[in-house]
């Protein structure tokens, strides 16, 4: 993985609040602690806090990929070291530049300090003066030839016929330039306001949905098959049943889990979390729904790797209801070792979460 040098790159160790020489175990524990914190904040009542939590969860997943891989971590540490050097050099160059641009006491007495005038305004003023001088040179003509001899010889009349001074013309030019700048600024603000308005309208619009039909599996991210196996009314309650299994390409990630199922105390292979919304995007249940609130119908892990859960919702309204999938978590056995003294088998299992924002339309129950 080629990591680009960026003087403003994120320091993953500071985010995790660990030392740069921390062990992989310490880093993994720090990541899990941060994920618990930010996964909880994904349910925040305001959009801004939810977005911040989602961004941090994505970043923590990225940190996990890089810092828990020895080769990628080595590359990252090198880039981080180079980035810190780039920042130090930049600060030194800035200090040198400040020292060079500082005027001497003699120049302060003879002329204004460069820091007292905006360099851009001085350049514009010089260009305007040059344009006025060129214009006056081209248009300079003798006094009106059709004046009478008395008018021409009269010094009073000659004074009255004088053109505006260079200073007056310069002021007129400046006024015209300021007017044009003001007009363009107003137009830019108007266009930006219109863009922001329509952007907000688009932001508030619910995401498009995919129909979720009974007993018809849908593929999520080429990793999981999710099937709505039941949706029915029981009095004022609604009972919904979902089954999940990894796709054929992903089953290899869970083969070790199935082989060691007797050591995993019947932990679920797959878990899911979601929200229930109406067609306008309003939440029907404020809290996130997950498998801890469901009845697990899978008795034990099997070779088909299917997990089935059943939820009961009270007072779910009739009409077009939406299921917004937030995440799917799989249990992967990464490492198997044996204690040399006791002969006991040691299994390292990890729950790996994949985060989504997928909207499915439920059929009418």
pLDDT tens-digit readout, 195-211? 676 555 555 566 788 99
Mean pLDDT, to the nearest integer, of 305-327? 90
Q: Which fold has domain 12-99?
A: Helix Hairpins (1.10.287)
Contact assessment for residue 66 and residue 80, using Cβ atoms and an 8 Å cutoff: no
To which residue do tokens 């524990």 refer?
Answer: 29
Mean pLDDT, to the nearest integer, of 142-158? 44
Q: HSE (CB half, 13 Å, CA atoms) of 154? A: 10
Q: Where are the alpha helices (DSSP H) in 47-118?
A: 47-67, 70-101, 105-110
∠ CA 216-218-220 to the nearest 5 degrees?
165
Rounded Cα gap, residues 324 and 281, in angstroms? 9
Q: What is the CA radius of gyration of the chain?
A: 36
Q: Above pLDDT 70, what percent of the chain?
A: 69
Each domain of the chain, given as residue ranges in start order, spans 12-99, 211-361
Point out the least confidently predicted range of 22-26, 163-167, 267-271, 338-342: 163-167
Contact assessment for residue 245 and residue 304, using Cβ atoms and an 8 Å cutoff: yes
To which residue do tokens 């010094």 refer?
Answer: 155
To which residue do tokens 């130090």 refer?
Answer: 88
What the block records as the tokens of 238 is: 């609604």
Helix (H) / strand (E) element for 121: namely helix 119-139
pLDDT in the model for residue 4: 47
**What's the CATH number for 211-361?**
2.60.40
Contact assessment for residue 331 and residue 264, using Cβ atoms and an 8 Å cutoff: yes
Contact assessment for residue 284 and residue 221, using Cβ atoms and an 8 Å cutoff: no
Q: Give residue 322's pLDDT band: very low, low, confident or very high (50, 70, 90).
A: very high
pLDDT in the model for residue 235: 87
pLDDT at 5 over 80: no
Q: HSE (CB half, 13 Å, CA atoms) of 20? A: 7
pLDDT in the model for residue 252: 87
Tell me the whole-structure pTM to 2 decimals.
0.44
Phi-psi region at 315: left, alpha or beta (left = phi > 0; alpha = psi -120 to 50): left
pLDDT at 347 over 90: no
Rounded Cα gap, residues 220 and 324, in angstroms? 12
Rounded Cα gap, residues 262 and 333, in angstroms? 13
Point out the least confidently predicted range of 43-47, 151-155, 272-276, 313-317: 151-155
Q: Give residue 148's pLDDT band: very low, low, confident or very high (50, 70, 90).
A: very low
Which residues are paired to 332 by β-bridges? 350
SS3 assignment, position 61: helix
Q: Give Cβ neighbours of residue 182 (< 8 Å, ≥ 6 apart).
A: none
pLDDT in the model for residue 215: 92
pLDDT in the model for residue 140: 46
Point out the least confidently predicted range of 159-173, 202-216, 246-260, 351-365: 159-173
Averaged confidence pLDDT in the chain: 77
CA dihedral 82, 83, 88, 94 (to 10 degrees): 120
pLDDT in the model for residue 183: 83
Please give the span between the terminal C-alpha atoms of the chain, in angstroms, as a whole number: 48
pLDDT in the model for residue 99: 60
Mean pLDDT, to the nearest integer, of 322-351? 80
Closest alpha carbon to 268 in 210, 307, 323 = 307
Q: What is the pLDDT of residues 14-72, one digit of tens each?
A: 999 999 999 999 999 999 999 999 888 888 888 888 899 999 999 999 999 999 999 99
What the block records as the tokens of 310 is: 């059943």
- Which position has the higher pLDDT, 106 or 92? 92
Q: What is the pLDDT of residues 214-256, one digit of tens each?
A: 999 999 999 999 999 999 988 888 999 999 999 989 888 888 8
Q: Give residue 259's pLDDT band: very low, low, confident or very high (50, 70, 90).
A: confident
Q: Residue 307 CB: number of other CB atoms within 10 A?
A: 23
pLDDT in the model for residue 88: 45
Mean pLDDT, to the nearest integer, of 118-143? 49
């Amino acid at each position: 993985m080629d990591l680009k040098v960026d003087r403003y790159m994120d320091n993953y160790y500071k985010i995790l609040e660990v030392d740069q020489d921390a062990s992989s175990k310490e880093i993994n524990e720090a990541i899990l602690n941060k994920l618990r914190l930010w996964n909880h904040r994904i349910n925040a009542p305001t959009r801004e806090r939810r977005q911040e939590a989602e961004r941090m969860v994505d970043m923590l997943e990225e940190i996990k990929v890089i810092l828990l891989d020895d080769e990628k971590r080595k590359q990252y540490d090198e880039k981080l070291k180079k980035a810190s050097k780039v920042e130090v050099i930049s600060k030194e160059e800035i200090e040198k530049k400040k020292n060079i641009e500082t005027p001497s006491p003699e120049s302060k007495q003879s002329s204004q300090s460069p820091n007292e005038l905006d360099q851009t305004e001085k350049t514009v003023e010089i260009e305007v003066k040059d344009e006025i001088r060129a214009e006056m040179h081209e248009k300079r003509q003798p006094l009106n030839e059709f004046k009478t001899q008395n008018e021409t010889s009269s010094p009073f009349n000659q004074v009255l016929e004088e053109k505006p001074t260079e200073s007056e013309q310069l002021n007129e030019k400046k006024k015209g330039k300021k007017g044009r700048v003001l007009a363009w600024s107003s137009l830019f603000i108007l266009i930006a306001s219109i863009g922001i308005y329509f952007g907000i309208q688009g932001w508030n619009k619910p995401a498009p949905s995919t129909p979720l039909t009974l007993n018809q599996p849908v593929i999520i991210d080429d990793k999981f098959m999710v099937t709505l196996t039941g949706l029915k009314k029981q009095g004022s309650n609604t009972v919904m049943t979902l089954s999940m299994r990894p796709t054929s390409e992903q089953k290899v990630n869970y083969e070790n889990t199935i082989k060691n199922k007797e050591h995993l105390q019947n932990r679920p292979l797959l878990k899911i979390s979601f929200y229930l919304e109406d067609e306008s995007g309003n939440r029907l249940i404020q809290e996130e729904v997950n498998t801890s609130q469901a009845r697990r119908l899978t008795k034990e892990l099997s070779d088909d790797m299917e997990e089935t859960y059943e939820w009961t919702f009270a007072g779910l309204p009739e009409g077009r209801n939406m299921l917004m999938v937030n995440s799917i978590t799989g249990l992967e056995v990464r490492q198997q070792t044996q204690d040399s003294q006791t002969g006991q088998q040691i299994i390292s299992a990890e729950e790996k979460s994949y985060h989504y924002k997928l909207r499915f339309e439920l059929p009418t129950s």
